[in-house]
Structure 1
Amino acid sequence: MEQIRQYFESEFRITPSDWEVFSSKLSRHVFPKKSKLLQMGKVENHLSFIEKGIVRLYIPLKDGELTFGFVFSGAFVSAYDSFLTQKPSEYVVETITDTVLWRLGHKELQEVYASSNIGNLIGRKASEELFLKKSKRELSLLRDSAEQRYLNLFDERPELLREIPLKYIASYIGVTPQALSRIRRRIS
């Protein structure tokens, strides 16, 4: 919990009383790799902060999967559209590695909003972070080549890419595993 507290102190200058309200609603969960945090068709009821691990978001297809996001430690993760609307998710949220999450339920977040000065700021920051990741991804798909998308992902967290299977990376940048192998050979 110390990592999330440091994050909130650096981002929001959270007061001890606001931290007490917020932290009392958090629960720590440990998930082994390949755990489905949310199944497609289920409603997202958690906003989670990743203490340790990597999570991916993907759409199951008849002939495979389409990975559209990776979230690393020190960041929020959620099927946020489902969380906000309380409607079924159109995608899956799954751990890639052993993962530790600090989770806040939808109901508990509403209580934090109502009972602390910092609640709305925390909610806004989480929303902004998730929105910016989504926008960055969309722009990359529109303007960057698959090779550039691979290099961008490699620049973001190179130490963690060793833990992401190449088939997920290929799906994320929009190519087959074979095409990713060619990209990797070209740039090495």
Structure 2
Amino acid sequence: MANQLVSVSKDKEKLRLRYRYKGKVTFLYLGLTNTPPNAAKAEQCRYHLEQDLLHNRYEHHHRESYRPEFNQVNEFFALPLDAQFEEWLDTLTKNNDHHKAVLEMLQRDKPRSLANIDMSRYAPKTYNTRLSYLRSFQQWLIDEGVLDKPILKLEPKKTKKTLSGQRKPLNNLEIESILCWFAENSDQYYE
């Protein structure tokens, strides 16, 4: 397609990805022969590389990670992460605004996988709430056979505990000074 930043091509019956990096045409050989199942795998690799290029997450020295042996590839994995999350939401008996917020975050940031999620901008309470939903989602992916093991690298943030004690009542001197102030300044506020 003309709109694609990355394309799948073949060289001597071997599949490769073709893309531009720093103005130069670059090829990444996938180590796959040109068969229909391998073409599907190559398309998934193409999609992930293109998403990383579009969202400035591509690192040239890690380009080998786009090869299929580094990406467990199946039909469900070909879906973007936000679409997988929506599939998970459909399996829940009830979901809430927090689920929607996580989905919106995934749709906005378009992380390549759970390992690439960045939630550093969130306050500890929001971060920990979203992390718990992402961990439940990750467990569902493991149960469905999409992931072999947990890949989410995020740890909960520590939150500051506030002391919830009773309020200290005002003493007589404080009450008297407040009443005196109002008596002296009442003409400014009440006319």
| TM-score, normalising length: structure 2 | 0.26
More strand by share: 1
| TM-score w.r.t. length of structure 1 | 0.27
